[in-house]
Structure 1
Amino acid sequence: MEVVVSTATENAMQIAVRVVKRQFSYFFNYNDKFEEVKSNIERLDNTRKRIHQVNNAEMNAEEIEDDVQHCLKQLDKKIEKYKQFIHDEYHSKTRCSIGFFPNNLSLRYRLGRNATKMVEEMEAEELWNKKFDEVSYRVLPSINSALTNTSYESFASREKTINVCMQALEDSTINMIGLYGVGGVGKTTLVKEVAKKAQEKKLFNVVVMENITRNPNIIKIQGQIAEMLGMRLEEESEIVRADRIRKRLKKEKENTLIILDDLWDGLDLNRLGIPISDENDGSEQDVNDISDSSYDKMEKEELSSDFNNMTEENLSEDHKRCKILLTSRRKQVLCNQMDVKERSTFSVGVLNETEGKTLLKRLAGIHIQNLVYDEKAIEIARMCDGLPIALVSIERKLKNKSSFVWEDVYQQMKKKSFMEGQEPIEFSIKLSYDHLKNEQLKCIFLHCARMGNDALVMDLVKFCIGLGLIQGVHTIGEARNKVNMLIEELKESSLLLESYSSNRFNMHDIVRDVALSISSKEKQMFFMKNGIIDEWPHKDQLERYMSEQSVPV
């Protein structure tokens, strides 16, 4: 019994000694622990800086991994907490002493105790040793901005077309859907509304929209499709790029809607990498159908077996999740050249007089019943042939204006139409152009028409800097902001459109045709096609152009 009591007493004494030593260490080791906390703050700061890939990833709009985000939050929180401790004003009150002992023992004890606990906490967590294989991942680009239809107006004729499109999208037996109608009738606006409604109904998780244009650039289109799918295509071969896109779409677990807008002629979807089922394909593919002078015979032979598998594989199960929506001006392109079934091909007609009048009055800000405005709105809408693009283009001239202005615009349209043979749609776009506030904005608009579809904002920035069209800017960032403001003005005038990316802009092909006509008739511009100057201008012509167009913002 005495042995047990003796052992217990010894253990209690040892514990008591350790406790007392620890308590005294708060006094005597205070300075060492204080310096240790400062040293560990530097180590944490260095760790924070070491994960510098996070900044690069955020600049590239990539998502940060959850564990990396958690670690960074911990680091920031700890660094802030420990810095507050280091800069606590009470530390200065422990520096002076009375004889051998420091002044304010209770304060020194408390601060020493806190410093010791901080050091132990940091050593236990070892945040400075954190390492990550990956700090970020690329996210699928959002097409929501491109699908924003701020100018969309719902009419009975449009709702009927949207409803039949939605039914076709929900029909598992239909893979391809076609919309056709004259230029400027609103096909692009309508398919955006269809895609928006389809996403709201959770029919599709992934939407890819691409403008094809009259002269399709397959490599460029492939690159933009890949970009919207979150891919990076580094290959130069058209066939290899198509195969990569095809495999990516086959692996897509979510329902995918691919919109190919503005087809002028038939287009082999396999060239783009878009797989189609046998029921809609209607023909057997051969690698030679994608002939190009850049492909040699050996390359074709090596890839032919893989390429032919595009149609030979059983795609019915994989691609019921992938639907294709096409638009064209001609029904023949959709049905005869693209093999879209008659039952899934729908017409987009012009607005009737009542719809045209209603749209024009809404756009122009006329919300009251007024016989004068109603009559002029009907006449102008009739002159615009019920084409929304013409009505939208002309509304800037009419917005919040008196009935006298409406009468003047109508008389101008009649004169241009009957005496000069000018199409109403051309007149309305030209009116929007004339309504731009200065020559600098007009010049930029005309150049945008030469840049093609989905043009890069940075390319326009380079053009503006090169020709001195923007003044008072000192950095590329300032120039880009200035150009973005000008682009917004052109969008507000309905002369430019949204693209699938905020870094790009678009233009309706009818607006482009009018702009090119204006360029050739009125402006001393040297023309470029796809970034290549057709003919270098004479020195006098270039100097005259520069002097006329160098207008400060």
Structure 2
Amino acid sequence: MVLAMDVIASVLLSEVANRLIEVRPVSSGNFEYFQSTTEAAGKLMEALGDDTCHIIGLCGLRGSGKTALVKAVVGEQGNHYLIVFATVSIDPNIRRIQDEIADCLGFKLEESSEAGRSRRILSRLFSHKHVLVIFDDVLAKLEFEDVGIPYKGDHRGLKVLFTTRNQQVCTLMECDKEVALNPLSENDAWKLFRKHSGIDEENNESSSSLLNVAREVAIECKGLPGKIKDVGYSLKRKPIEEWEATLDSLRHSMALYQVALWL
């Protein structure tokens, strides 16, 4: 089934990529496509191929694989855009973001003021016909002009793609296209968990109790690929007592999270 999803994803991506133009790729690494990631990838590619779509938001929970998906989608297109990548996160540091943008564009910023640095970046961006700016982990509205990015429509060959955990950010950023990256299905989550925990190696009659605990642990990872991989790898070849302790810990942390939502 995973192989089938890879084939579907490859076809879906190649069909939309044929409508795009040319520049340098971002490495996609060993990204694994499942149903939810394939659906999100298709929508991202459709938005990238739409000339009227300038701002694209990818929204998903922490650990859902937003950054990895973006890099995979961009990496599988070949040379279609000049890629500019910057991480935003909590309390965005404008000067750091500007430095990351300038580094992607191949120059150093020497201006002392943020406004001067912004103008320099802006002029460089206008010298390129097709640019894709990727802002990773945007937690609040980011003013494009502050970092030197032209507002949508001012540079018709420029697109902005950002990732966020907060759907409201997509509204505040005036997205032309909002794409949701949903958690993995229970079946896909179990497949990924087995791969990283090595649970299949112990799949015999004497380990039925371990398999039962493993399934519960996988469920508590809530379909988040990052969490599934980390938890699975940490439990590989560990005794069942550690599996049970991890399951209790996951359930306890989720209970605390649900209580916090009501405070």
TM over 0.5: same fold? yes
Secondary structure of 2:231's counterpart equals helix
Whether the 8 Å CA contact 1:175–1:322 is kept in 2: the answer is yes
Shift of 1:417: 4.4
Shift of 1:143: 6.9
Aligned to 2:182: 349
In the alignment, the residues of structure 1 paired with residue 54 and residue 200 of structure 2 have an alpha-carbon distance, to the nearest angstrom, of: 42
Shift of 1:181: 1.3
Q: TM-score, normalised by structure 1?
A: 0.39
Aligned to 1:320: 156
Shift of 1:327: 1.0
In the alignment, the residues of structure 2 paired with residue 367 and residue 413 of structure 1 have an alpha-carbon distance, to the nearest angstrom, of: 19
Give the counterpart letter for 2:54 in structure 1.
Answer: N
Within the candidate set 93, 97, 102, 1:226 is matched to 102
In the alignment, the residues of structure 1 paired with residue 104 and residue 137 of structure 2 have an alpha-carbon distance, to the nearest angstrom, of: 18
In the alignment, the residues of structure 2 paired with residue 413 and residue 353 of structure 1 have an alpha-carbon distance, to the nearest angstrom, of: 19
Shift of 1:423: 4.4
Shift of 1:395: 2.7
Within the candidate set 230, 239, 264, 2:139 is matched to 264
Residue 62 of structure 2 corresponds to residue 183 of structure 1:
yes
In the alignment, the residues of structure 1 paired with residue 73 and residue 114 of structure 2 have an alpha-carbon distance, to the nearest angstrom, of: 31
Q: Which has the larger radius of gyration?
A: 1
Shift of 1:154: 1.2
Whether the 8 Å CA contact 2:35–2:184 is kept in 1: the answer is no
Whether the 8 Å CA contact 2:28–2:68 is kept in 1: the answer is no
Aligned to 2:21: none
Whether the 8 Å CA contact 1:357–1:381 is kept in 2: the answer is yes
Whether the 8 Å CA contact 1:383–1:413 is kept in 2: the answer is no
Shift of 1:350: 1.2
Residue 29 of structure 2 corresponds to residue 153 of structure 1:
no
In the alignment, the residues of structure 1 paired with residue 194 and residue 134 of structure 2 have an alpha-carbon distance, to the nearest angstrom, of: 31
Residue 87 of structure 2 corresponds to residue 211 of structure 1:
yes
Shift of 1:174: 0.6
Q: In 2 relative to 1, CA 196–363 (structure 1 residues): closer, same or farther, beyond 3 Å?
A: same
Secondary structure of 1:320's counterpart equals coil
Shift of 1:369: 9.6
Whether the 8 Å CA contact 1:353–1:378 is kept in 2: the answer is no
Whether the 8 Å CA contact 2:97–2:147 is kept in 1: the answer is yes
Q: TM-score, normalised by structure 2?
A: 0.79
Shift of 1:410: 3.3
Aligned to 1:274: 149
In the alignment, the residues of structure 1 paired with residue 149 and residue 162 of structure 2 have an alpha-carbon distance, to the nearest angstrom, of: 13
Structure-to-structure mapping, 1:461-472, within 5 angstroms: none
Aligned Cα root-mean-square deviation (Å) = 2.4
Aligned to 2:128: 252
Whether the 8 Å CA contact 2:213–2:247 is kept in 1: the answer is no
Residue 257 of structure 2 corresponds to residue 422 of structure 1:
no
In the alignment, the residues of structure 2 paired with residue 250 and residue 365 of structure 1 have an alpha-carbon distance, to the nearest angstrom, of: 50
Whether the 8 Å CA contact 1:356–1:378 is kept in 2: the answer is no
Aligned to 2:220: 383
In the alignment, the residues of structure 1 paired with residue 107 and residue 250 of structure 2 have an alpha-carbon distance, to the nearest angstrom, of: 49
In the alignment, the residues of structure 1 paired with residue 242 and residue 39 of structure 2 have an alpha-carbon distance, to the nearest angstrom, of: 32
Give the counterpart letter for 1:203 in structure 2.
Answer: H
Whether the 8 Å CA contact 1:379–1:410 is kept in 2: the answer is no
Aligned to 2:13: none
Q: Point out 4+ residue stretches in structure 1 off by more than 6 angstroms.
A: none
Residue correspondences, number: 229
Whether the 8 Å CA contact 1:354–1:378 is kept in 2: the answer is no
In the alignment, the residues of structure 1 paired with residue 180 and residue 241 of structure 2 have an alpha-carbon distance, to the nearest angstrom, of: 34
Residue 246 of structure 2 corresponds to residue 413 of structure 1:
yes
Overall identity of the aligned pairs, in %: 31
In the alignment, the residues of structure 2 paired with residue 321 and residue 244 of structure 1 have an alpha-carbon distance, to the nearest angstrom, of: 18
In the alignment, the residues of structure 1 paired with residue 149 and residue 247 of structure 2 have an alpha-carbon distance, to the nearest angstrom, of: 47
In the alignment, the residues of structure 2 paired with residue 225 and residue 276 of structure 1 have an alpha-carbon distance, to the nearest angstrom, of: 16
Within the candidate set 331, 342, 346, 2:167 is matched to 331
Structure-to-structure mapping, 1:130-169, within 5 angstroms: 144=26, 147-150=27-30, 152-169=31-48
Unaligned runs of 5+ in 1: 1-141, 279-314, 427-553
Whether the 8 Å CA contact 2:86–2:101 is kept in 1: the answer is yes
Shift of 1:212: 0.2
Determine which structure has greater relative contact order: mean sequence separation of CA pairs < 8 Å that are 6+ residues apart, divided by chain length: 2
Shift of 1:221: 0.6
Give the counterpart letter for 1:220 in structure 2.
Answer: R
